[in-house]
Structure 1
Amino acid sequence: MVAVSKSQKGSGSLAWLSVLSLLAFLLAWELICRLGFVAPIFLPPPSQVFARASSMTEQGTLAWHVLASARRVMVGFLAAVIVAIPLGIWLGTSRIARAIFDPVVSFLRPLPSMSWIPLSLLWFGITETQKYSIVFMGSFVPALLYVMEATRSIDPLLVRAARNLGANRWQVMREVLLPGCLPQIISGMKIILGLSWTCVISAELVAAKEGLGFMIMNGKEFFQTDTVVLGMVLISFTVLATDLVVRALERWLLDWQQQ
């Protein structure tokens, strides 16, 4: 009990230190701008950014942009994960499949999400499907590689033991491989989720009528630097919020490890 209370006390002190550090950063930023060291057109003070956020909230446009980007990220990300996990486990366990698909994966791996924008516009036009496809293509290959590496890290003796007990290939994947590599897969998916946000912002900067990327580009076009900074801040906050949700899901899925 004493050890736990000391640990909790230490965590509380560190949390306060983080809060004070953030407040000091915002205060220094505000003073630098207010004292004229940086012109507002290049970097607006936090108070101006907050005023812009309040104005857009009253107009009802702020939540609209955030939800549009979040929807695109989650649809594209979940589609990539749903395809990458079973395919990655299969490629991670089959040398023949890996030999067949490795050239394709190696070809797709270096391509950034921005490179898919011209083709996606030709295929889908300026639609929501086009945004989803950009997030999917930017997230799928990294997610696939994470799953493949996680699968290959499983002890082969566990697989042989399951097969000796009569498990078929599907049962081995479901009962041995997936539970064994799930912690690594979830850790990798948290990184891929941040990458998905990079992809959607790239798509919205080029062809969109809503979303945080559109908001940033629109602010740039009208020299509204506070809107640009607000969009950047909202991206960080939204990614942090989704990361908290993923961490809660991780604790729920991996609850068996604590037992």
Structure 2
Amino acid sequence: MKIATWNVNSIRTRKEQVLDWLNYQDVDVLCLQETKVIDQDFPRTPFEEMGYAVAVSGQKAYNGVAIFSKHPLEAVSCGFSPIVGEAITGKFDEQKRVITAVVDGIRLVNVYIPNGSSVGSDKYQYKLHWLEILNQYLQQLLQAETKICLCGDFNVAPENRDIYDPKKGDTNHIMASPEERSAIALIQSLGFQDAFRKFTEEGGHYSWWDYRTRAFSRDRGWRIDHHFLTPELYQKAVNCWIDRAPRKQEKPSDHTPVIVEF
């Protein structure tokens, strides 16, 4: 089985790119982030015609997550509240950033973690609180599940080797601040392991390049899209790689897919 994650930065804008990519990669599951469309306007039909079941949770112009699967989608839920309850979730389900489903015995958790804007800002505090709720959400899932694939756009580079300029990891930079990295480390301490690092130790591998600085042509990237696996799944993983090809297309997403294979 191959499971991919991809922040497409608008599914309607990049529908044809996603369709083309699925034709040549032929993944079993594709988890999308930043779909930027309400559920009734999601372009389901061409993906369903390819044989994918489609589950979505979206909003107009911002955020949004989706799961495509060649296997039946079971136990689908959107947001934090179905798992941790509204008292804990509060306002944090207003933004559509979490969707989960069981596919062939694997619990998929597809997340689009807030960017945080800048360290110390209100959006940064929102991001840290969001990550705290995600931790509680995962703890609840782990009480009943042993095979969980947590994937998506995390907007966090876990280590300095995940940034084109490792020094940015030492300067309290957004997406690499100690608080953000600590939150990810706490999630990993629940038993989640980085699938990409099982197979690739060196730096220089990225999944996101900023549009504004011609970052892709200069390979000034960050590795912020991840698959974190529970131990049983981690042992079964046989490969995990970043496919840079979609980022080379005309008017691409600023992210590119990351695929894990079992």
- TM category, shorter: under 0.3
The two structures have a TM-score, normalised by structure 2, of 0.24
Greater fraction helix = 1
The two structures have a TM-score, normalised by structure 1, of 0.24
* Higher RCO (C-alpha under 8 Å, 6+ residues apart): 1
Q: Which has the larger radius of gyration?
A: 1
Greater fraction strand = 2
